[in-house]
Chain A
């Protein structure tokens, strides 16, 4: 079956702009999570959505937001971009239980560069 699809793969934006990233989870997965990965901070949890509701949120400013649609596809938005937002943004989908056999499936990410 198809994996987790993230678009776009690469993105260059200017400080102050906003950006929207998209994630299509594995068919049948209703949970979608977002992570930010930077060399300095590593992999950090942003938020998690299940059935269009945000269930969990990491420690990021309000400029980072997300949503999930009825087909489980998810988008995340970053407003008023800062240089420090340059990162690899990863989306992951998971079956109902984290302790299932296969765990999370991550996409290949969107590499965002803010200039």
Chain B
């Protein structure tokens, strides 16, 4: 059973870059598709983007000019960078695994990490 564990700074200042990592255990990050999803406090889920090792990426158009998702095969780790953050980026960020391709279902979720954008 794959296990996903996100980590990050907890708090980021406005206009700075939010950087998160997700360590994958129990499975190879070279298989399947991986994605980031976020959930602002008290609100619904929002897709950020997905990546398939080998170069395929797709980002939410509303975030596309600020977001980068990458993978480190040597660490079996997924990363998210979101630049120029504002209070609207305050959310719980989840690392997830997609099964069935980029248009597939989420079969594994990390526990999530809360990021607060505040000075």
Asked if A pairs with B, the answer is no
